[in-house]
Chain A
Amino acid sequence: MSDAATPYCPGCTHGIAHRLVGEAIDELGILEKVIGIVSAGCSVRSWRLYRFDMVLTAHGRSPAVATGIKRALPDSFVFAYQGDGDSAAIGLAELMHAALRCEEITVFTINNAVYGATGGQAAPTTLIGQKTTSYPSGRDPSYAGYPINMAEVIASVSKNSYVARVALNSVGNILKAKNAVIRAFKTQEKRLGFSFVEMLSACPVGWQMTPLDSLKWIEEKMIQQYPLGEFKVPKGLEP
């Protein structure tokens, strides 16, 4: 990590996710081989937080950009860090096809159930009944459809892959999240296929809650819709 301050609102857990990625890279000793990709959304400025090569690209396109980098530099470690608008809405095609091709890249996606950067609008991951600035009376599935469970979707289409969902709301869950980040990079290191880690993350400002209530909301509401765990482990990745 660099000494730049995180650009996030109080109580946001993006910063924890960044730290886990940075720690995993240090522990695996791969800093000189890593290329990270960020795109539009809250994390678009997170390239400042690291000391390795980084790319900033268009909203939703980072799995395709990652494909272009990895195909050109097969010995590098390439990861994309996406929000849920980036991965589950505008960039769903790029993510899905990178997963289908089992590209040897890693995608981290933050699921905080809203668009944070633009002011708390609904995301594909917004829970049923959840109030957002674009659906002020709450998500009504008969009108606005149902939430998407990204990890399950990716696990069902990506033949060779590591797929996990973690949460950043408690010490225990954060430790498990760290393990998932390391296992994702190991999947890439051993050339076992695509790796995807969905991270349930707090957005107190977007949710109009206190930071503490937000962590509780992840535990009580989000995990109910988005269960935690490993959904797919490639052959050759030790338990």
Chain B
Amino acid sequence: MGEIDLLSGNEALGESAIRAGCLFFYGYPITPQGELFEYMARRLPEVGGTFLQSESEIAAISMVYGTAAAGKRVMTASSGPGISLMQEGISHLAAAQLPCLIVNVMRAGPGLGRVRPSQADYLQATRGGGHGDYRAIVLAPASAQEMADLAFEAFKLADKYRNPVMILCDGMLGQMMEPVALADPIDPNQLPPKPWAVTGAKGRERNLALAAPYTDEELIALNLELKSKYESIEVQEARWESHSLDDAELVVVAFGTSARISEDAVLKARKEGLKVGLIRPITLWPFPKQAFNTPQEKIRAYLVVEMNAGQMLEDVLLAKRGDIPAYHFGLGGGWVPSTEDVYRKLVEVYKRKGGL
């Protein structure tokens, strides 16, 4: 740590992943993850790593599966339609309990959609996304610095829980240039050993990386094991940031790009004397329910701001105290609110709830 570079979010994420000891990247071209993909294509050969352009996102996530099974830190990146194709692989990674990083630089859907920033893959990401009962850990950066920090963190979490981790961001965070302090590189050979990896059964019992057990009973046992792992992740790994909750009457809840925009709106409102606060979930799964456990006597409403038609809203409705209303401000399809838009909405809700 020490040097400060001016980096785009995509570069910060890619460089940080390499510094975290990830020397393998498999991917298929799609906008708006192109800068990350090309950064890895340029940079990995310089550090003796492997970059391979696959024939599809299905193949990319399958290559990730292989390298993860072999015990190496590995990642892929894509966007909406490509992430949908990867769901098969993510479900299998979760079943075989293989660690990896998947970056979704979200674009506006549904369908092919267009490439403008969006947060409409929230539910896909946080509910597992593929078939079967599983979860991926989902991290939502809100700055270039956090793109770097969370990439580093993602590999630690993936290895700790032997589980796929997803970073959910968008083209705005990917392209935004900001000063970034990068962590010192880790030597991949110095990482903690993975005694479960398939590396050839030399001097040990053989290892297996199976996306399906042999019997019905073993599958039930696997599901119980996964359930208990997910419960422990929910207790231990929820992360969030909050501002000015002490006296807040209206609390804005937002993640990623919309949190960045909402933060400015909240600061502006504070200057105007409005008692507003902000909760910014950093882990989307596990959703930081704990952030809503603070004394809530003064809170009259939540305002969920997201670039979709109301997805994180569902988690806020589950986490908040029952009698406090939660409103939604947002739209999918590439709509990005301005600070002014959020501010106006915030004032409108605040006044409606009897503030000022």
Residues of chain A whose beta carbon lies under 8 Å from any beta carbon of chain B: 31-35, 37, 44-45, 47-48, 50-58, 61-62, 64-73, 76, 93-94, 96-97
Contact = CB atoms under 8 A, between A and B. Distances in A.
A28 to B, nearest CB: 13
Interface stretch (B111-119, B208-216, B338-346): B208-216
Contacts of A34: 200
B67 interface: yes
Contact of A93 (B50, B56, B72, B199): B56
B200 A52 contact: yes
B59 A93 contact: yes
Interface size class of B (residues with CB under 8 A): 35 or more
B198 A53 contact: yes
Contact of B211 (A57, A70, A94, A96): A57
B259 interface: no
Given A33-B200, A68-B26, A68-B62, A57 B92 contact: yes
A55 B66 contact: yes
Nearest to A58: B92
Contact of B201 (A31, A57, A70): A31
A142 to B, nearest CB: 30
Nearest to A40: B212
B251 interface: no
Nearest to A35: B198
B65 interface: yes
A57 B68 CA distance: 12
Given A47-B208, A54-B206, A97-B59, A68 B65 contact: yes
B200 A65 contact: no
B18 to A, nearest CB: 15
Contacts of B203: 32
The main secondary structure of chain B at its interface with chain A is mixed
Interface in B180-214: 198-203, 206-212, 214
B206 A52 contact: yes
23 contacts: A35-B198, A35-B200, A47-B208, A53-B199, A53-B208, A54-B209, A56-B212, A57-B65, A57-B66, A57-B92, A61-B88, A64-B62, A68-B26, A68-B62, A68-B64, A68-B66, A68-B67, A68-B68, A69-B70, A71-B67, A72-B24, A72-B72, A94-B58
Contacts of B70: 35, 68-69, 72-73
Nearest to B197: A53
B69 interface: yes
Contacts of A96: 55
Most A-side CB within 10 Å, residue of B74, B89, B210: B210
Interface string B129-161: 000000000000000000000000000000000
Contacts of A44: 212
B63 A68 contact: yes
Nearest to A48: B214
Query: What 8 A-B pairs have minimum CB-CB distances, sorted nearest first?
Result: A68-B66, A64-B62, A68-B63, A61-B62, A32-B202, A53-B198, A72-B70, A65-B66
A65 B211 CA distance: 12
Nearest to A78: B66
Contacts of B68: 68
Most A-side CB within 10 Å, residue of B64, B69, B199: B69
A61 B26 contact: no
A93 B60 CA distance: 12
B52 interface: yes
B96 interface: yes
Contacts of B206: 50-54
Contacts of B66: 37, 55, 57, 64-72
Contacts of B64: 68
A56 B207 CA distance: 12
B63 A64 contact: yes
Contacts of A67: 52, 63, 66
B31 interface: no
Given A53-B206, A97-B55, A71 B200 contact: no
Contacts of B202: 32-33
Contacts of B50: 71-72
B201 A56 contact: no
Most B-side CB within 10 Å, residue of A37, A55, A96: A55
A71 B52 contact: yes
Interface string B91-102: 010001000000
Contacts of B89: 58, 61
A71 B203 CA distance: 22
B54 interface: yes
Most A-side CB within 10 Å, residue of B62, B74, B210, B211: B62
Contacts of B200: 32-35, 52-53, 73, 76
Most A-side CB within 10 Å, residue of B52, B200, B207: B200
